[in-house]
Structure 1
Amino acid sequence: MDRIARIHQLLQVTPKDNFLRHALALEYSKAGELAKARQLFEDILTEFPDYIGSYYHLGKLLEAMGEPALALEWYAKGMIAARKVGDLHAYSELQSVHDELAY
């Protein structure tokens, strides 16, 4: 069974498991199914804005999809969320990719 199928199987038991949803989005991204990956990342962050790790990956995905302005918006949202939960490491990473893309 491939990874995508296995994660789908696990999500049937726990459909709102953000670790699994995030992993599935990464697998979709690797498989070139960018729209599916994007939708999953956006769903995670809309429902659970404190799931900090997905901001970076969504931003990078949006950059790859040719949407840098939207990537900047998500990086900025991620910085706000990271600061709110006190995750200074994630904040620093998001700020770095934001600033690199903005300039």
Structure 2
Amino acid sequence: MSKRLEMLEMVASKKPDDPFVWYARAMELRSLDRKDEALAAFGDVATKFPTYVPTYLMGAQVAAELGRTDEARAFAQRGIEQARAGGDGHALSELDSFLATL
């Protein structure tokens, strides 16, 4: 296990209500090329913190990298809904663009 992942897991146990820590953990799994685990972690973040919009693009990208197009599409569509609801035009644009590539 990487030191960074170890540290993020420790912080997550102390700050279970902080979406950024869980998101950072998922990103670290992705950077370690543990994509199946990363995808599951992004799914957990989306479930626990549905309004944390950055999760959706990253989850969609990892799903696409794994060849799970339907799952990637679902992640992107949920992200679009959340971005629209939160008035996040930048994220909405990125998610729309990504969805168009699938």
Q: Same fold (TM over 0.5)?
A: yes
- CA distance in 1 between counterparts of 2:49 and 2:11 reads 19
* Structure 1 unpaired stretches of 5+: none
What do the CA deviations read for 1:5-60 (whole angstroms, capped 9, x no partner)? Answer: 11112112112321011001011011121222111111111122111000000000
Q: Identify unmatched segments of 5+ residues in structure 2.
A: none
TM-score (norm 1): 0.91
Paired residue for 2:14? Answer: 13
Percent identity over paired residues: 29
Aligned to 2:45: 44
The one-letter code of the counterpart of 2:84 is R
2:24 aligned residue? 23
For residues 1-103 of structure 1, what are the structure 2 equivalents within 5 Å?
A: 2-101=3-102
Between 1:34-43 and 1:85-94, the stretch displaced more is 34-43
User: What do you get for the CA RMSD once the two structures are aligned?
Assistant: 1.2
Structure 1: 4+ residue segments shifted above 6 A: none
How many residues are matched? 101
Name the amino acid aligned to 2:95. L
2: CA distance, partners of 1:46 / 1:10: 19
